[in-house]
Chains A and B, each alone.
Chain A
Amino acid sequence: MPEIFDANKKEDDGLVEVKRLMASGKYKNDWGSLILSPQIKFESQNEGEKVIVLGRRHFVTNLGWIALICFAFFVPFFWNEFPLVADVDNNVHFFLTILWYLSLALFAMQNFLLWFYNVYIVTDERLVDVDFFGILYKNINVTQIRKVEDVNYSQKGILSSFFDYGDVVIQTASEQRSDDVFGKGGEASPFTFEAVGNPNEVVRIISELMEQEEEEEYQGRTR
Chain B
Amino acid sequence: MEILPGITIDITLSIVVGLMVKILMILLLLLSVIMVRQEVLMNKVVNLPLGKNLRVLVWVFFLMTLILTTIVVIA
Contact = CB atoms under 8 A, between A and B. Distances in A.
Interface of A: 30-31, 38-43, 84-85, 87-89, 91-92, 95-96, 98-99, 102-103, 105-106, 109-110, 113, 116-117, 119, 121, 130, 132, 135-136, 138, 140
B45 A40 contact: no
Given A92-B18, A96-B21, A106 B49 contact: no
B28 A88 contact: no
A138 B57 CA distance: 22
Interface string B5-38: 0000000011001100110110010011011001
Contact of B65 (A40, A102, A132): A102
A210 B8 CA distance: 78
A135 B18 CA distance: 28
B74 to A, nearest CB: 11
B68 A30 contact: no
A140 B45 contact: yes
B17 A88 contact: yes
- Please name the 9 residue pairs, one residue from A and one from B, whose CB atoms are nearest each other, closest first: A117-B42, A41-B47, A89-B14, A135-B38, A88-B14, A95-B21, A92-B18, A43-B45, A42-B46
Contacts of B45: 42-43, 117, 130, 138, 140
A40 B18 contact: no
B1 interface: no
Contact of B17 (A92, A103, A140): A92
Nearest to B42: A117
A117 B13 CA distance: 43
Contacts of B39: 113
Best-buried of B18, B32, B43, B48 by chain A (most CB within 10 Å): B48
B61 A103 contact: no
A109 B61 contact: yes
Nearest to B37: A135
A92 B46 contact: no
21 contacts: A38-B48, A38-B49, A41-B47, A42-B46, A43-B44, A84-B13, A88-B18, A91-B14, A95-B25, A96-B17, A102-B68, A106-B61, A109-B57, A109-B58, A113-B42, A113-B58, A116-B50, A117-B45, A117-B48, A119-B46, A135-B34
Given A102-B65, A117-B45, A138-B45, A95 B35 contact: no
B72 interface: yes
